[in-house]
């Protein structure tokens, strides 16, 4: 792969973590555009440099250069502009890992519009809510996405343009035809670092999910946290892969965008169901050097016998985040990968703010690590004061911070409630020790952490009560060795309905086909009455005890 120009990391070189933290300084320009940064900048210097290595499911291998990506994104920007997409408009992307996803993001950023990534595993209800709530003006998807859109199109009245990568469909324009008639040149909109660029929906802890709106500076804010677990990233031979969907913050902001910023090739592969054997084979085939692998995927990979003896992979670094790995997983990782797995922590609203790096001496089993250079993170009490070492409090991040979100879309009250003074609260309880290591203790909200996904109960419960047999519903997380937690639903049935295994399976399928495969309740319990407070709120603590 052409990789002759050396990209420079944002983190300073130093012998230990404390020196790196002290020496680091933010460099956020007043005018900045993510699309120009991750694509056009490299296309101008090294147009043949590989940006995306696309491993197709039919076995074909496609190398997409930065020059290719610039032309593709420019054509797409012209197509979207011709269909009325302008600065500030939201454009949804619902596609599996592919060059088209990267090009779509770049085109949207160049337009000054707002990219709205939507996971391919979402069902029609979840898609409908996001399109309607965001007021999305355009959607880029495939035939699978069009099938989900078919029954809900009228619920998104502002959706004026639908482009399909699989050709013309019901109410959709064939993307290839549109691109063929579009010009390969486009003058990117002059955007400021604080201008909106990206919106990712968080898990709905209370009610429906909220759209976390980010500025162009969010990528700059991610760079230290993306580089730290991959020690002195980038290196000339680096090549990045993650099984995480690029629609999630982890796949997009931890892997894809930072890698392209540094000119590092990113492996794209559609994954409908994670297969641990295929993961090792892929890393060997593509000679992956850097990987972000969520904890659940790592647990599944542990079942593969003697991977280093069977697959010729040459990993330089492995990062993981979303939930704590534990000592056993760390020890297994050293044996299986030949490297120490470094961890990181963050939220969609303010990601990659705590991390570890064994090479810099910041690894402590059971801990998430220390605040990443550039970020001020503390464990605080309810008044916003940092607690003493060893005391439990809420993990919080201090503003201003370039990685921090601008607002919750259309929810000013929720945005204000996220802060205590200048501290952005995470809703996660933690402890900091005398050395500055932060350990996750638990949540003070009701988010369920399953397979690396943060799942809010509100959207699932809203779907459950639409089932014709369900009167009341509440979901909680139940501890699970493989997934961390699973979604467990407690159901009060309507009069005349009888509890049965068949009904439980029907309810599970009802959610699975309407929301997402990772959100459906893996266990269903029928109860006579829902534990409620005097104000009508579900007492989830009692349900968690039952679970």
User: Is residue 56 predicted with pLDDT exceeding 60?
Assistant: yes
End-to-end CA distance of the chain: 51
Total Cβ atoms within 10 A of residue 202: 18
Prediction pTM value: 0.87
Task: Report CA torsion sign: 43, 49, 55, 60.
Answer: positive
User: Is residue 448 predicted with pLDDT exceeding 90?
Assistant: no
Domains in the chain with CATH codes: 66-215 (3.40.50.12780), 448-546 (3.30.300.30)
Contacting residues for 154 by C-beta, under 8 A, at least 6 apart: none
pLDDT digits (tens, 9 = 90+) for 300-358: 898 899 999 999 999 999 999 876 777 778 889 999 999 999 999 999 999 999 999 99
**Whole-angstrom distance, CA of residue 504 vs CA of residue 507:** 5
Higher pLDDT, 326 or 483: 483
* Token pair recorded at residue 206: 């209370």
pLDDT digits (tens, 9 = 90+) for 82-114: 999 999 999 999 999 999 999 999 999 999 999
Predicted local confidence at residue 206, as pLDDT: 54
Tokens 């205590």 belong to residue: 420
pLDDT digits (tens, 9 = 90+) for 505-528: 999 999 999 988 888 999 999 999
Tokens 């005349």 belong to residue: 496
Burial class (CB in 10 A: 0-12, 13-18, 19+), 496: exposed
Residues 456-483: what's their mean pLDDT?
88
Tokens 């809510």 belong to residue: 129
When pLDDT is cut at 50, 70 and 90, the band that residue 537 belongs to is low
When pLDDT is cut at 50, 70 and 90, the band that residue 37 belongs to is very high
**Closest C-alpha to 267, from 294, 242, 244, 292:** 242
Q: Helix crossing, 143-150 with 124-134: angle to 10°?
A: 80
Residues 419-423: what's their mean pLDDT?
98
**Closest C-alpha to 338, from 324, 358, 321:** 358
When pLDDT is cut at 50, 70 and 90, the band that residue 535 belongs to is very low
Residues 393-418: what's their mean pLDDT?
97
Strand order of the β-sheet with 484-493 is 470-480, 484-493, 523-526
Residues 115-127: what's their mean pLDDT?
94
* Token pair recorded at residue 272: 């409908």
Burial class (CB in 10 A: 0-12, 13-18, 19+), 65: buried
């Amino acid at each position: 792969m052409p990789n002759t120009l050396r990209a420079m990391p944002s983190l300073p070189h130093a012998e230990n973590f404390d020196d790196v933290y002290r020496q680091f300084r933010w460099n956020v320009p007043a005018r900045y555009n993510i699309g120009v940064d991750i694509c056009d900048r490299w296309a101008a210097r090294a147009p043949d440099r590989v940006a995306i290595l696309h491993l197709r499911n039919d076995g074909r291998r496609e190398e997409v250069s930065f020059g290719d990506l610039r032309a593709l994104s420019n054509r797409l920007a012209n197509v979207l502009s011709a269909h009325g997409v302008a600065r500030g408009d939201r454009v949804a992307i619902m596609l599996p890992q592919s060059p088209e996803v990267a090009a779509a993001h770049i085109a949207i950023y160049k337009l000054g519009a707002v990219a709205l990534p939507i996971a391919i595993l979402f069902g029609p209800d979840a898609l409908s809510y996001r399109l309607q709530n965001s007021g999305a003006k355009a959607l880029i998807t495939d035939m699978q996405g069009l099938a989900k859109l078919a029954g809900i199109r009228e619920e998104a009245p502002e959706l004026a343009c639908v482009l399909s990568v699989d050709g013309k469909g019901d109410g959709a324009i064939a993307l290839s035809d549109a691109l063929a008639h579009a010009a390969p040149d486009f003058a990117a909109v002059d955007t400021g670092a604080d201008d909106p660029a990206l919106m990712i929906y968080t898990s709905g802890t209370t009610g429906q999910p909220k759209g976390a709106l980010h500025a162009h500076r969010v990528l700059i804010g991610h760079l230290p946290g993306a580089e730290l677990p991959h020690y002195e990233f980038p290196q000339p031979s680096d090549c990045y892969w993650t099984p995480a969907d690029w629609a999630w913050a982890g796949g997009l902001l931890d892997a894809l965008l930072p890698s392209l910023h540094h000119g590092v090739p990113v492996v794209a592969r559609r994954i409908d169901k994670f297969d641990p054997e295929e993961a090792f084979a892929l890393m060997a085939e593509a000679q992956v050097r850097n990987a972000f692998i969520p904890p659940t995927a790592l647990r599944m990979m542990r079942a593969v016998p003697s991977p280093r003896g069977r697959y010729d992979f040459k990993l330089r670094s492995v990062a993981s985040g979303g939930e704590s790995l534990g000592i056993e997983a760390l020890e297994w990782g050293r044996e299986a990968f030949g490297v120490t797995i470094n961890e990181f922590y963050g939220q969609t609203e303010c990601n990659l703010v705590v991390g570890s790096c064994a090479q810099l001496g910041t690894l402590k089993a059971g801990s998430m690590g220390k605040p990443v250079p550039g970020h001020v993170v503390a464990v605080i009490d309810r008044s916003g004061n940092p607690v003493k070492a060893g005391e439990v409090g809420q993990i919080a991040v201090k503003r201003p911070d370039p990685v921090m979100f601008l607002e919750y879309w259309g929810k000013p009250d929720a945005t204000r409630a996220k802060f205590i003074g200048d501290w952005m609260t995470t809703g996660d309880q933690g402890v900091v020790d005398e050395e500055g290591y932060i350990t996750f203790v638990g949540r003070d909200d009701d988010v369920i952490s399953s397979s690396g996904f943060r799942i809010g109960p509100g959207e699932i419960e809203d779907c459950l009560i639409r089932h014709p047999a369900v009167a009341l519903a509440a979901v909680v997380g139940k501890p699970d060795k493989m997934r961390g937690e699973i979604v467990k639903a407690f159901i009060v049935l309507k009069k005349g309905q009888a509890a049965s295994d068949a009904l439980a399976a029907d309810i599970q399928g009802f959610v699975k086909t309407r929301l997402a495969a990772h959100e459906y309740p893996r266990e269903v319990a029928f109860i006579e009455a829902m534990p409620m407070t005097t104000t009508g709120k579900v007492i989830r603590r009692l349900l968690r005890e039952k679970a």
